[in-house]
Structure 1
Amino acid sequence: MNLKVNIRKVENYDLDFVYKAICELENEVLDFKMFEIIFNENISNPKNLYLIAENENEGLGFISFHTQNLLHHCGLVGEIQEFFIHQKYRGQGVGRKLVDEILKYSEQNNLKSIEVTTNKKRIENVAIYENLGFTLSHNKFTIYKL
C-alpha cells in the first residue's frame, strides 16, 4: 500500500485527536480539562515539537518531543514523550516519517542525543525503537503519585 502521509506541527484544533490517541495509548480516560491545559502549554513551548501525521481524510498518528539543556551532556538533549500510530496504519512507515522529522529537527538544532522511554509492558516497542535506530542504553526508575 502506498500511503500518502503529510507531517505538520500540531495546532490547537488537534486537541481532540491527540487526546483520543493518548487515552488509547495509556488505555485509560484522562481528565480532559487538565489534558487541555497541559496540551496548550506544551504546544506553545518553543522547546517542544509536536507533530501530527495525516492523510487527506484523518490523523494517522503523532509524536511529542521535548528538549532541554542537560549539564551532563553539556548541551541540548531531546526526548520523545509520546508516540502514537493508529493500529490500522502501523507498519506502513508513518512512525518512520515522524521520527525522520524529529531527526531533522535535532540535526538543525545541534542536539547531543535523542532519548525515548517505553513502558516495560510494551515489549514490542523495544524492537520498534531499535528498528528506528535507537539503542537500549539506560534503565529508568520511577516513583508514582507522590
Structure 2
Amino acid sequence: MQSKIKIRKVEKQDLDFVYKSICELENEVLDFEVFKKIFNENIANPMNVYLIAENEKEGAGFISFHTQHLLHHCGLVGEIQEFFIDQKYRGQGVGRLLINEIKNFAEQNNLKSIEVTTNRRRVENVLIYENLGFTLSHNKFTIYKE
C-alpha cells in the first residue's frame, strides 16, 4: 500500500478532506465557514507546512505543522498541530511518510525541535509518537474558555 501513497502540499481543493479528517479527529462537527477561513489563512502562511497523503483516488492522511521563532529555544521550532490517518490506512506506514516529510523540512530549515501534543484521552498516541522517534519530555497545561 505504501508505494501507492504520495505526499504533497495541501491545496485549497483539499478543504473537504481536511475538514472531514479534523471533525473525525475531534469527534465533533466544526463550523465549516469558520474552519474554511482558518484553513485558507493557515495554508497561505509560509511558516506552516500542511501535507496530505493520498493514493490515486482518495486522501489517506493529513498533517499540519506550524513553525515559530521561540526565545527559549533561541531559534525556529515546529509543532505538529493536527495529524490524522484515515482508519483504513492505519498501520501501513502512511503516518511515518508524513512525519518523515516534516523531519526533512525541519532539517532543511535548521529547526531546533519538532514538538507534538496529544490529548490524554488518546492514550495509544503516546506509543505511536515514541515509535516515530519522539520523546515524552514535557507536560502541557490548558485553560479552556467555558
**Class of the TM-score when normalised by the shorter of the 2 chains:** over 0.9
Instruction: Name the counterpart of 2:46.
Output: 46
Q: Which residue of 1 aligns with 2:27?
A: 27
- Alignment-derived partner of residue 77 in structure 2: 77
Please tell me the root mean square deviation across aligned C-alpha atoms, in Å. Answer: 0.9
Which residue number corresponds to residue 86 of structure 1? 86
1:3 shift after superposition: 4.6
Native 8 Å contact 1:3 1:92 kept in 2: no
**Residue aligned with 1:91, SS:** coil
Secondary structure, counterpart of 1:133 in structure 2: coil
Amino acid at match of 1:117: T
Where in structure 2 are the equivalents of 1:1-146 lying within 5 Å? 1=1, 3-145=3-145
Q: CA deviation at 1:145?
A: 1.4
- Asked whether the 8 Å contact 2:2–2:93 carries over to 1, the reply is no
Partner amino acid for 1:66?
Answer: H
Gaps of 5+ in 2: none
Unmatched 5+ stretches in structure 1: none
Runs of 4 or more consecutive aligned structure 1 residues displaced over 6 Å after TM superposition: none
What does the per-residue CA deviation read over 1:82-112, in whole Å, with 9 as the maximum and x for residues that have no partner? 0000011000000000000000000000000
| Matches of 1:111 and 1:17, distance apart in 2 | 29
Shift of residue 2, structure 1, vs aligned partner: 5.1
Q: Give me the TM-score of the superposition, normalised by structure 2.
A: 0.98
Corresponding pairs, count: 146
Q: Secondary structure at the match of 1:24?
A: helix
Whole-Å Cα distance in 2 between the matches of residues 20 and 7 of structure 1?
18
Q: Report percent identity of matched pairs.
A: 79
